[in-house]
Amino acid sequence: MSFEKVDIRDLYRCVSCGNCRSVCPVFEQTGRESKNTRGRILIIRGVYEGVLDDDSVFDSINTCTTCGYCTEACPAGVDPPKLVETAREGLAKLGKMTPTQAKIRDTVARYSNTLGDDGDRLGWLKEAENGAGETKEAGNSGLKLELPEKPKAVYFVGCLDSYRYPKTALKTYRILKNLGVGLLEDEKCCGSPLLRLGLSDEAAGLVKHNTEQIKKSGADTVIASCAGCFNTLKNDYDLTGITVMTVSEYLMSHIKEFKEWVAAENSGIQKLDIPVTYHDSCHSGRHNHIFEEPRALIREIVGADNFKEMEACREKSRCCGGGGGVRSGYNELSMAMAKRRLEDVPAGVEYIITACPLCLRNLSDAGGDIPVIDIVELLSMAIKK
């Protein structure tokens, strides 16, 4: 099995110290050595050496959310999520994959999204332009969301916001368009779910298509509101000369312009006197170290005293359990990790804020009694009508 995309020495650099066992969210729930990083590396090493039956390793390799906490804890400098993704890829190229991998592969190939939705990806925008739904709720029934002809930045909406959270997509774009941001003419799935599952060949067409769309737009910045999209655009695409940012990064880098627009159109930002906390998504936080900007934006809205950190945060944030195909393939395990994450929420907060729709979905489905909302939803609450 080929491991050409990683340094093969990483398979043998692991010293089996067990640091990763103490932070692996899957091991915390299962207690099984085969379902923590140390065990996975031993199993992947066995597959590479040809001494293990490939089919027997699926549950070990595919229960990894690729959260990257093990990378932070590894004294030997190993990057286990890359080894996991590479092992998945090697097995997939041999025709060995789980039913979940096959289903996601086929769904994305047919619909260009992970959800199997055959609707218009820009349906949320067209509804707004027709004066329907969310536009009226925001008191802007006459608003036309025309696309700038030569945008300096483009908003990459992502599958979940396009099809499952269209109101969030609309609120996000209503804010961003006033800062000169446009949309891609024909956005498709970024390919992140396929890449995390080791299906790089299947993802290649999506990466090529979106890259061409981004370059065609002429923008020098791409803004993603999904942590998975952000991580993939930033690290798996060849976008030389183009900056990839999260929504909070972009807004904080244009905070003066944003406040001027809000003051002119909506009479300013109303400070919300509500206590909130923030969940760091693995792919924007631990993988890319986007920690300060979302916190700064939240403090702009609720004030420093109303912002409460979770018990485990920043680099040590617990995974929501949704990534790496685990939500789809091992839903009971995924929900157990999400419920564990909710135990980190400080007492007395009214909202859990996140900047990732998959985290929002998984944490919401875990059944807590505190609403989980996107950071843009919080911002929209603060903008006076």
Tell me the whole-structure pTM to 2 decimals.
0.91
pLDDT higher than 80, residue 135:
no
Confidence at residue 312, expressed as pLDDT on a 0 to 100 scale: 95
pLDDT at 9: 82
Alpha carbon distances (Å) from 246 to 150, 159, 171, 235, 249: 21, 16, 15, 13, 5
Block residue for tokens 């002429």: 218
Weakest-pLDDT range from 28-32, 74-78, 137-141, 314-318: 137-141
Q: Which CATH superfamily is 10-96 part of?
A: Alpha-helical ferredoxin (1.10.1060.10)
- Band of pLDDT at residue 145, cut at 50, 70 and 90: low
Reduce the DSSP state of residue 354 to 3 states and report it.
strand
Q: What angle do CA 254, 222, 256 make, to 5 degrees?
A: 5
Separation of alpha carbons 248 and 376, rounded Å: 9
Q: For residue 153, what is the enclosing H or E element? A: strand 153-156
Residue 148 reports pLDDT greater than 50: yes
Task: Kindly state the tokens that stand for 366.
Answer: 């875990």
Angle between helices 375-382 and 292-302 (to 10 degrees): 30
- Cα 90 to Cα 193, 233, 243: the distances in Å are 16, 23, 31
Among 71-75, 259-263, 335-339, which stretch is predicted with the lowest mean pLDDT? Answer: 259-263
For 196-248, write each residue's pLDDT tens digit: 999 999 999 999 999 999 999 999 999 999 999 999 999 999 999 999 999 99
Residue boundaries of the structural domains of the chain = 10-96, 110-258, 265-382
Residue 340 host element (H or E): helix 331-342
| Gap between the Cα atoms of 262 and 303, Å rounded | 18
C-alpha distance from residue 18 to each of 23, 38, 74, 304, 341 (Å): 10, 7, 9, 38, 22
CA distance 379 to 290: 18
- Ramachandran area for residue 325 (φ above 0: left; ψ -120 to 50: alpha; else beta): left
376: left (phi over 0), alpha (psi -120 to 50) or beta: alpha
Would the pLDDT of 174 be above 60? Answer: yes
pLDDT attached to residue 130: 60
Contact 158, 357 (CB under 8 A): yes
Query: Do the domains 110-258 and 10-96 match in fold?
Result: no
Question: Are 384 and 269 a contacting pair, CB within 8 Å?
Answer: yes
For domain 110-258, the question of CATH label 3.40.50 is answered with yes
Residues 114-121, mean pLDDT to the nearest whole number: 94
Pick the residue with more confidence: 100 or 264? 100
CATH of 265-382, one of 3.30.460, 3.30.300, 3.40.50, 3.30.1760: 3.40.50
Alpha-carbon distances, residue 73 vs 15, 27, 78, 190, 196 (angstroms): 13, 14, 9, 29, 21
Q: Is 53 or 385 the better-scoring residue by pLDDT?
A: 53
Q: Closest Cα partner for 293 from 375, 179, 192?
A: 375
